[in-house]
Amino acid sequence: MIPVAPPPAPDLATYLGELRAVIEAGLARACPPDAPPLIDEAVRYAVLNGGKRLRPCLTLAVADAVADAARARRVDARWRALPCACAVEMVHTYSLVHDDLPAMDNDDLRRGRATAHVVYGDGLAVLAGDGLLTEAFGVLAESPSRVVPDGVAAAGADERLRAIAVLAAAAGVVGMVGGQAIDLAAAGRVRDRIEPVPDRAALENMHARKTGALIRAAATMGAIATGADDVVIGAIDAYARELGLAFQIIDDVLDVEGSAADLGKTAGKDAASGKPTYPALFGVDVSRRLAIECVARAHAALATANLRGRLAEIATWSLARQT
């Protein structure tokens, strides 16, 4: 008897599309049903926006990889990780809503749509961001979580507490908020503070906090929620640190090279605002080479814990993406 070959693995785009469908359904359930109509509308406008969902895809892809390594069922791992995935995307979305405010980056266009403060005014945009940040922790702490169907087994209490602590540390004053404060000061937007133009170390410190910390949290929370041991969690963290830096460098490069239509946001904005970027410090070619080196280190980190498959592909894809 001739053995039947397994079906070809779906390509990465199909895989990510499958994860995104799970995430979109979770996010639609993440907004509590009994909020006042106006804030409910603003929160949904911000979060149900057809974004790439990079961070929650990473959470679920890590859950898949951990399940594969443990020969456990992917579907169970995904349900356990879904509250983490939704919470990470809600935190990411809140940070964009606040970052787009006139008091911060003053951006009118995001993912090809008017930003929340343009539609609802600055005050309600502040509140919508506050609400998303708060509900992210609600989604993780409540039992059962509103983002999963009835009867699905949740992660254990200790894992959920650890995931909440990881998210708070990544998003808080040591992580994302701290990085945004450094960025704001570097752009001369903090009263009476003149900050020097950063060098490479300062730029990497800022990005490690501003975008890197949340990407690392997205990945490690996927591992924590699915019961991975500390060796695997450490490998995932190292992988995500390099992936996050590669994403940031390519983002900066695309901002120089891209158009508003491709990016769904105002192109050339970083350079125009005098923001420190990789291309500004190193030029486009060296920046791309730095990103390639990050991806090589990401692959090496996966190998240390014998994690294969989609996570490596995601890292490679981060270099080739056009948006």
Residues in touch with a copy of itself (CB under 8 A): 31-32, 34-36, 38-40, 42-43, 94-95, 98, 101, 103-104, 119-127, 129-131, 133-135, 137-138, 140-143, 157-158, 160-162, 164-165, 167-169, 171-174, 177-182, 184-185, 189-191, 193, 209
What is the rounded distance in angstroms from the CA atom of residue 57 to the CA atom of residue 52?
A: 9
Least Cα distance to 45 among 104, 127, 137, 103 occurs for 127
Residue 157 beta carbon to a copy of itself: minimum distance, rounded to whole angstroms: 4
Query: 315: which 2 tokens?
Result: 């890292």
**Closer by beta carbon to a copy of itself, 64 or else 100:** 100
Cβ 23 to a copy of itself shortest distance, Å: 20
Closest by CA to 21, choosing from 69, 57, 46, is 57
Q: For residues 190 and 300, which CB has a smaller minimum distance to a copy of itself in the complex?
A: 190
Q: How far is the CB of 202 from a copy of itself (least distance, A)?
A: 11
> Shortest distance, CB of residue 118 to a copy of itself, whole angstroms?
9
Nearest to 281 by CA among 199, 221, 187, 205: 199
DSSP 133-186: HHHHHHHHHSSS-TTS-TTPPPPPHHHHHHHHHHHHHHHSTTTHHHHHHHHHHH
CB of 46 to a copy of itself, least distance (A): 12
Q: How far is the CB of 45 from a copy of itself (least distance, A)?
A: 13
| Complex with a copy of itself: residue 95 or 277, whichever CB lies closer | 95
CB closer to a copy of itself out of 181 and 280: 181
Q: Tell me whether residue 126 or residue 319 sits nearer to a copy of itself (CB atom).
A: 126
The token pair at 279 is 């291309």
Report in angstroms how near the CB of residue 12 gets to a copy of itself at its nearest. 32
Question: In angstroms, rounded to a whole number, what is the distance separating the alpha carbons of residues 145 and 223?
Answer: 18
Nearest residue (CB) to a copy of itself, 103 versus 296: 103
Residue among 16 and 30 whose Cβ is closer to a copy of itself: 30
Tokens of 208: 């490690």
Biggest CA-to-CA distance, the chain:
79
Return the ∠ at Cα 213 (arms to 98 and 108), rounded to 5°. Answer: 25
Q: Per DSSP, what are the bridge partners of residue 144?
A: none
- Angle, helix 74-99 to helix 37-47, in steps of 10 degrees: 110
